[in-house]
Amino acid sequence: MKLLEDKILAEGIAESENILKVDSFINHQVDPELMKKMGKDIAEHYKGKGITRIATIESSGIAPALMAAEALGVPLVILKKQPSKILNHDLYQTVVTSYTKGTSYELTISAKYISENDHILIVDDFLANGEAATGAIRLIRKAHATIAGVSVLIEKAFQPGREKLEEQGIDVYSLARVSRLDKGVIEFVKED
């Protein structure tokens, strides 16, 4: 999506070969018009695929996932990273290790909001090594729901996330595919 690529080039900060900061429009401050357009693009890609819910991992994926859910007319389910004092019965849980942050967390969803009748699209902000997406898939499959695909705003195409997901038979749709990062350098995969 050229609009997102242009925004990344204008406001993104490449700190190293692994770190791309997009704080001014995705992670800390959210650009609502951009989110709306990205949500619409994701919905258009998955239109007619029988999606019953969208799922995202809190917190940076919430804005684009909500916009995609609105465009598709389906509910958004938020997979929780933090344990809840009140959400403690009939849960599906799995442990996810974040490559970027070097930490592990327990991903949780209430059985109340997912069933074997669901066909779920996962929407997130980044795809790098695919650990978060794989954890979300594991969690959704525990409920015997099916996966429509994984859509991300920014894919670090030089890391193995897409390959890991496609090996599992998962459709991956990325709005911007970064081919190379370095301090002050951001390059995108050239699409045909």
List of residues 6+ apart from 190 with CB closer than 8 A: 179
Q: Is residue 131 marked as binding?
A: yes
Q: What is the pLDDT of residues 121-151, one digit of tens each?
A: 999 999 999 999 999 999 999 999 999 999 9
- Which tokens belong to 160? 């193995």
Whole-model pTM: value is 0.93
Q: Is residue 27 part of an annotated ligand binding site?
A: yes
Domains and CATH numbers, the chain: 35-176 (3.40.50.2020)
Interatomic CA distance for residues 140 and 109, integer angstroms = 9
Residue 68 annotated in ligand binding: no
- Cα 6 to Cα 178: distance, rounded to the nearest angstrom: 12
Per-residue model confidence as pLDDT tens digits over 154-186: 999 999 999 999 999 999 999 999 999 999 999
Residue 93 burial by Cβ neighbours in a 10 Å radius (0-12, 13-18, 19+): middle
